[in-house]
Amino acid sequence: MSHDQFISAYETVPLGFLISTPKTLQILLVHKIRDTRFQSLLINWACTLFAVLGTGMWGFSLMPVFLVVGVVAEGVFLFLLVLCVGAGDILLIFALEDERFFELATRCHALSIFEDTEFL
């Protein structure tokens, strides 16, 4: 699918996307590190990670170990979920804006596009 077909299909047809988070992060870190939107996303990720780690360290001094481990594990999984969703969002934004980036993302299999036939 070319970039022009992707843009027209994005506006008219329900599309499905498969995004590989590790490949997405590699592409974004190599090609879009100077973009302010991606930098703000990285800063938010770092602040969230430090908050989760700080809460875990503080919790170990106040609460029983099993309770703190459960809370910190949920915080880490929430952090990873936000990381995956944010990386996918920013990849789609950059793919819609730039034809070369779209070609790179699809060629590296970081982004796969298909028509959603089960749209309600």
Using one digit for the tens of pLDDT, what is the confidence trace for 13-66? 777 778 888 898 889 889 888 888 888 888 988 898 888 888 888 888 888 888
Please tell me whether residue 118 adopts helix, strand or coil conformation. Answer: coil
**Position 88, amino acid:** G
Lowest mean pLDDT segment, chosen from 74-88, 91-105, 106-120: 106-120
Domain residue extents for the chain: 3-115
The per-residue b/e assignment along 80-94, b for 16 or more CB within 10 angstroms, e otherwise, is: eeebeebbbebbbeb
**Position 24, amino acid:** T
CA gap 65, 56 in Å, rounded: 10
The per-residue b/e assignment along 14-49, b for 16 or more CB within 10 angstroms, e otherwise, is: ebeeebbbebbbebbeebbeeeeebeebeeeeeeee
**What was the pLDDT predicted at 92?**
87
* Residue 12: pLDDT over 80: no
